[in-house]
Amino acid sequence: MRKIPKQEFTAEFKEQAVRQLRAGKTTGELAAELGVSDQTLRNWRKAAEAGKLNGAGAKP
């Protein structure tokens, strides 16, 4: 099995994705559109709700 390199996304990209989820897109639709996993989108939404959504290279 080949290891997939870790992708990094900007805070803006993540915030835009979360906005689209809040506007009614499903995680499945958006995941396919953006090329990320459903779980990644769920994690971003959860982090945004907690006020902890960071961009690439940001310290958690």
For the segment 3-16, what is each residue's pLDDT rounded down to a tens digit?
667 778 998 999 99
Q: Of residues 41 and 3, which shows the higher confidence score?
A: 41
Predicted pLDDT of residue 58: 62
Question: For residue 57, what pLDDT is reported?
Answer: 63
The pLDDT assigned to 25 comes to 96
Specify the pTM: 0.81
Q: How is 11-48 classified by DSSP, letter by letter?
A: HHHHHHHHHHHHTT--HHHHHHHHT--HHHHHHHHHHH
In this predicted structure, the answer to whether residue 60 has a pLDDT above a threshold of 80 is: no
Contact 42, 27 (CB under 8 A): yes
